[in-house]
Structure 1
Amino acid sequence: MAVAQERFASERFPSVRSVYVRDDPQARAEQLFVTRHVTTVLRFEQPCTEAGTKMLGWEGRFEPVACAGKRVLVEPLQALEPEDRFILVVRLVDGTEVPFTISGSSWKEGEWPDQQVNVFLKPDDPDALRKQLEESQKRERELWNQLAVESFTGSSEDHTLAALLTQGAVRFTPFVFRKAWIFKNEDSNIQASVLTDGKEKVAVLFRVTNKDPSNPWRLMDARLFVLPPGFQPPLFVGEARPFALRADKKVIPPGETGFVAVVADKSVFDSPQGPSKLTLAVFRHDGMLAAHVTLDRRLFKK
């Protein structure tokens, strides 16, 4: 359970990341991504100076840049276009000046708003090396998790069917609608529709509407478990079963809708003890449960 909790907590939004600035005149300024009414915090290893820290052309677009000890606070007053660029120069108490390029976030991969950026000016110092090691280990864990999920998915045919469902092309699949649930969360509304082809396959299509006014919605994981006799969902400790997973977009921007589809073979219900009930659960980017449905082999009865 501790491993699962660590994985669920491994992603947060808005993001916290580190940058390592080397004393190189040819190095380009680090880029920061900001969004309206969200404060981005730059965290240094030494205090900054209010007088020497400046942003060009900020008037009317940002709150005044503030130095608070070892932190610099940046907050846009209005939405910025992804192509907008502002130059921020932070001066530290030892006279070092660190330049940054500030841009509006675009919700693309790698361009989500920064919540906190830890700035290391001496990448070879013990603290910086320790942080780089932690980040490297985190990336390895995420890659391992991704590979583990991918290796446990269904056939290429099932992936194709799942992709068609996310594109609204149900008519090109053998599936027909069976039942649906609606989940109303703080950040989203999710409709989960169960479909079968009546013979060999079952599918669940999640229609996710992002209600958050400023943050995107991202899928972290989906899991299909055998539901042990006598237990009620949500339960995520049973035997895992294979499935195919597809989503129509990596990120669902505020106010927009996206689709996640799961397709599995009828054999996932089989067990030595006879037909099993299954629990299918989807988790959002921070590891919180977003929706879950119970599947029964009786779905295949006409």
Structure 2
Amino acid sequence: MLLLRSVLLVALAASAALASGGRDKLSVRPILLSEHPDDATHRVYVKGQVVTTLRFEQSVDPVKTKMLGWEGRLEPLAVVRNKVLLEPLHDLDDDEAIPVVVTLVDGTEVPFLLRPPGREGWSWTDQQVDVFKNRESHAAMHAVLREALKKNDALTEENQRYRKEETSEDHALAALLVSGALAQTPFKVVERFFGKDADAEIDAQVLQGKVKAAVVFKIKNLAPEQPWSMKSARLVTLDKGHERAVAVRATGREIMPGGSGVVAFVVDGGAFMEDGKLTRLSLEVYRHDGMRQAFIQLDPALIER
């Protein structure tokens, strides 16, 4: 870690801490079985040390329910009446897939493929999968309707956020900083630091503006195969941990191995106020795998009043 003159702290080596906003989304979702014999095997997204439950409408035959090639990667599966419990010992690699065949007491075989969650911000870990053999049952139709409403609410919220960002001054400033147009913004560079770990090389600038502050990360991906992406960012007051809004813009969703990209953050001066007083802020950046890539303490001296 480097201690900078303006009391800005950066930790460029990834740490195991997770932001509350950066945790994997745990999901309960329905699967409707098809009568067509050529339908694809259903994928189930699992995470290390997180129990995933497959829940069926009827009891499961524990003798005929099996996993293939699971040794050393998952706990032995457990069958409890109409439920199958799965728990990976650790996160699966991106190219890993573990077949599971669940056999119901009526002889129906249901194949699954256990896969790791994707790297994208909208990826999920399956906490529970409700499997319906009778597609027209009341329970199945209710589960599908509930899932459709949930997706509609998420899309509505996302569209509202996009519309708000389109007219947001802070997001416009972040976009200018990402494009390298510093001269077109009210900011000036007051601190610069450089850091490197096994996966990333970061050249960062801290900027001061009129009632606003900003941080710009120029990131080079040093990983041989894994693309780098920002999973989440979290801005909180240092004293009480209250969440604050931060505008974020990036040159792209992912930085490929050997490539470079820019991520810019703009903080409004009002974020530094807590209980009527100026306070320091902590900006935390979490990468694709949930590890904390960097954090910076922002002093209220950064905003000119």
Q: Deviations over 1:50-99 (max 9, x none)?
A: 01101122233322211111110112234422212221110112221100
CA RMSD of aligned residues (A): 4.8
TM superposition shift of 1:234 = 5.3
Partner of 1:189: none
Matched, 1:261 2:265: yes
Would the alpha carbon gap of residues 161 and 145 (structure 1) be closer, same or farther in structure 2, given more than 3 Å must change? same
CA contact (8 A) 1:175 1:197 kept: yes
Distance between the aligned counterparts of 1:283 and 1:125, measured in 2? 46
Matched, 1:45 2:45: no
Q: Deviations over 1:205-263 (max 9, x none)?
A: 499xxxxxxxx9954999xxxxxxxxx99599xxxx9x854367879xxxxxx967236
TM-score (norm 1): 0.58
Partner of 1:3: none
Specify the code of the residue in structure 2 equivalent to 1:246.
R
Q: Deviations over 1:104-146 (max 9, x none)?
A: 3343356543222121222332211112111211222112212
Matches within 5 A, 1:50-129: 50-109=62-121, 111-129=123-141
Gaps of 5+ in 2: 1-19, 192-204, 218-228, 255-261, 272-277, 286-295
Partner of 1:175: 188
Comparing both structures, which one devotes a greater share of its residues to strand?
Answer: 2
Specify the code of the residue in structure 2 equivalent to 1:24.
H
2:46 to 13, 28, 34: 34
CA contact (8 A) 2:32 2:135 kept: yes
TM-score (norm 2): 0.57
Matches within 5 A, 1:82-231: 82-109=94-121, 111-153=123-165, 154=168, 157-161=172-176, 163=178, 174-177=187-190, 195-198=207-210, 202-205=212-215, 219=232
Local SS of the residue matching 2:303: helix
Distance between the aligned counterparts of 2:216 and 2:132, measured in 1? 42
CA contact (8 A) 2:178 2:263 kept: no
TM superposition shift of 1:100 = 0.4
Gaps of 5+ in 1: 1-7, 179-192, 208-215, 223-231, 252-257, 270-276, 285-290
Partner of 2:249: 246
Indicate the percent of aligned positions where both proteins have the same amino acid: 29
Partner of 2:304: 300
Local SS of the residue matching 1:197: strand
Local SS of the residue matching 1:35: coil
